[in-house]
Amino acid sequence: MVNQIAVESDDDVARVRILVADDCGTNRLVMKAMLEHDGYEVFLAENGQQAIELFEQECPDLILMDNHMPVIDGYEATRLIKARSCGDFVPIILLAVLSDQDSLVKAIESGGDDILGKPYNRAILSAKIRSLVRVRELYEVQRKQTVELSTYNEQQRRDQMVAEKIFNNIVRSGTLDLTNLRYIVSPMAVFNGDLLLAAATPAGGLHVMVGDFTGHGLAAALGAMPSSEIFYGMTSKGFSIVDIAHEINKKLRLMLPTGMFLATALVEIESSWQSASVWNAGVPDILIRGQDTGIKNRVPSEHLPLGVVNSGEIDGAITRVELAEGDRIFVYTDGVIESRDIEGELFGQKRLDDTVSDHLDASKVFDEITQRLNCFQGDSAQDDDITLIEIVCDPSAVAGLKVAEEEPKKALPPISWKVGLQLQADSMRTTNPLPLLIQMVMEIQGLYDHRERLYTVLSELYSNALDHGLLGLDSKLKQTPDGFMAYYTQRESRLAELEDQSIDLELEHIPHGTGGKLILRMKDTGPGFDMATKRTTLDDNAGHSGRGIALVTTLCVELNHYGNGNQAEAVYIWE
């Protein structure tokens, strides 16, 4: 009785094409009849050469290859077909006498996928064919998935490269290339969960921000882009670090999911470089090292990270630290002190403190930190993003540095306009009017090339009206570092007690020549000063006090005082 091959359906075998290579015509015809009866499409070859040619022409799904044939035998034909299959899996069953051990060895070495002994057993032949057809189908599925996965990975790689470039262009567009800044940024993934930003202020100072988002990679980096845009934009307009913190917090509260936040430290170094304002919200202690001493000050975290509470609940209190030339400020994320060695031990705060304090030569501290950190980690896997920046107190490093602009802008055609603002005691305690006024000038007249000079003029006039006109502070206190800190202590105390006082600010613009004349008026309700007192010039005064009026005089074509000296009017000409 003739054995039949069980066929699941005609559709399953209709696509299966089988090449039979045998030099015996009878064998070929018998094999053809059997296979066609079972629903396969069959091609016949008389020798190995024809088998190779038919393989290339018809692309069969499976081959039955006699081992002994003229021209090219079955072993060589198998090797050549396997070599030309270009990654496709084409199963080859070699037909051989199983008692011939040498034939079995050659069948395996030539790359045959199975062996069928002579004389043929139809049931075994059917089973082997169906088994290898299933293997081929599985192979094709795997190969297709591999190609799709490779294509997907390549697209992901391209997308990641584009996203990384965009990310870096947004996040790294500040002033980190200043000679007094040294830093390391070591992300765990392509996208960094840490944030390191630096930008010049219109008043000639410097803002630095170090942040650490919960999590790593792309999810953490998504919050870095709007945060950096807010930081750069508000810094260029003259806003304080507390204002910046409030705005970033507002943005993060809208976009971050519950449980995700930004631990951050914001440092604002004034143009004199005699003091810095620090706002630490969740990062490790900020360290201040003296030029010839160890750690002389540290600022621990005193605020909640950004994105945790509403902006109205954020504590705006800052820590002010005094600086001397050559001092170094170290700001870093917890990835530094939580780095682990191969045994799982943490690098720790004490190791970092000791490293900062050990060297008498302050210029070598940063290199020593990075060297000790690398040696400590050794071959252990990094399990957090690492960021560290050293800020050296060096006023010359930022001399002449301009604030960052999104794109070059030109002044608008000169027109006539006037704006005014009155500040009461409460608003003076909580509001800095200068960024608002400067932004109004930029929007109305587009004087972007004059932003820093106008900010300096307004800042000096406003500081003179508030600090001296209303608060009665003596600028001579600023002549020493200790006095500088005492000056700001008195300022905060007297400002908190201020009542029933006000400052009126007015900006008036008049077309003048090819440009315009901007008149800046400042009036305070204080007692005024003796206008007969001789003004000093910048050349006469190289200190840190009494330079405001002289600086305004150099930037403006006119500076006049009226009343009891409590009214100032400066005229700035632009072309």
Dump pLDDT digits (tens) for 331-390. 999 999 999 999 999 999 999 999 999 877 888 999 999 999 999 998 888 878 899 999
pLDDT at 172: 61
Beta partners for 306? 262
Q: Which two tokens stand for residue 286?
A: 């900020």
The Cα–Cα gap between 436 and 369 comes to: 42
pLDDT at 77: 95
Structural contact between residues 541 and 550, judged by C-beta atoms closer than 8 angstroms = yes
Write down the residue that tokens 């050293």 correspond to.
390
Q: Which two tokens stand for residue 151?
A: 């294509």
Mean pLDDT (whole number) for 488-513: 92
The Cα–Cα gap between 124 and 5 comes to: 9
One-letter-per-residue 3-state SS of 28-79: HHHHHHHHHHCCCEEEEECCHHHHHHHHHHHCCCEEEEECCCCCCCHHHHHH
Highest mean pLDDT among 339-343, 483-487, 568-572: 568-572
Between the alpha carbon of residue 79 and those of residues 112, 122, 172, the distances in Å are 8, 26, 57
Give the amino acid at 210: V
Q: In 283-346, which ranges are continuous DSSP H helix?
A: 334-337
The Cα–Cα gap between 443 and 440 comes to: 5
Q: Which two tokens stand for residue 452?
A: 């820093």
- Indicate if the pLDDT at residue 6 is higher than 50: no
Mean pLDDT (whole number) for 423-446: 90
pLDDT at 485: 76
Average pLDDT, the chain: 86
- Indicate if the pLDDT at residue 316 is higher than 60: yes
- Is the pLDDT higher at 12 or at 502? 502
Dump pLDDT digits (tens) for 111-146. 889 988 888 788 999 999 999 999 999 998 998 898
- Indicate if the pLDDT at residue 5 is higher than 60: no
Of the listed ranges 315-324, 438-447, 544-553, the least confidently predicted one is 544-553
Length of the chain: 575
Dump pLDDT digits (tens) for 226-263. 898 899 989 988 899 999 999 999 999 988 888 889 99
Taking the chain, what is the end-to-end CA distance rounded to the nearest angstrom? 109
Edge-first strand order for the sheet with 194-200 is: 194-200, 206-213, 262-269, 275-281, 319-322
Write down the residue that tokens 């020593």 correspond to.
368
- Is the pLDDT higher at 167 or at 568? 568
Beta partners for 278? 267, 319
- Indicate if the pLDDT at residue 11 is higher than 60: no
- Indicate if the pLDDT at residue 180 is higher than 70: yes
- Indicate if the pLDDT at residue 291 is higher than 50: yes
Dump pLDDT digits (tens) for 66-120. 988 999 999 999 999 999 988 789 999 998 877 667 777 888 888 889 988 888 7
pLDDT at 173: 60
Mean pLDDT (whole number) for 264-291: 93
Helix, strand, coil: what percent of the chain each, to 5? 40, 25, 35
- Is the pLDDT higher at 132 or at 475? 132
- Indicate if the pLDDT at residue 9 is higher than 50: no
- Indicate if the pLDDT at residue 543 is higher than 90: no
The Cα–Cα gap between 443 and 237 comes to: 12
* Among 297, 287, 295, CA closest to 358: 295
Q: What is the DSSP string of 505-574?
A: EEEEEEEETTEEEEEEEEEESS----TTSPPPPTTT--SSSS-HHHHHHHHSSEEEEETTTTEEEEEEEE
% the chain with pLDDT above 70: 87
Helix (H/G/I), strand (E/B), else coil: 389: strand
Mean pLDDT (whole number) for 489-496: 90
Mean pLDDT (whole number) for 502-517: 94
pLDDT at 191: 65
pLDDT at 216: 65
Give the pairing of strands 417-424 and 502-512. antiparallel
Domains for the chain: give ranges and CATH numbers.
Answer: 10-143 (3.40.50.2300), 172-398 (3.60.40.10), 417-574 (3.30.565.10)
Residues 6+ apart with CB under 8 A from 369: 330, 352, 355, 356, 388
The Cα–Cα gap between 474 and 465 comes to: 13
The Cα–Cα gap between 536 and 557 comes to: 16
Mean pLDDT (whole number) for 267-288: 93
* Among 163, 226, 164, CA closest to 197: 226
- Indicate if the pLDDT at residue 285 is higher than 90: yes
Mean pLDDT (whole number) for 397-418: 75
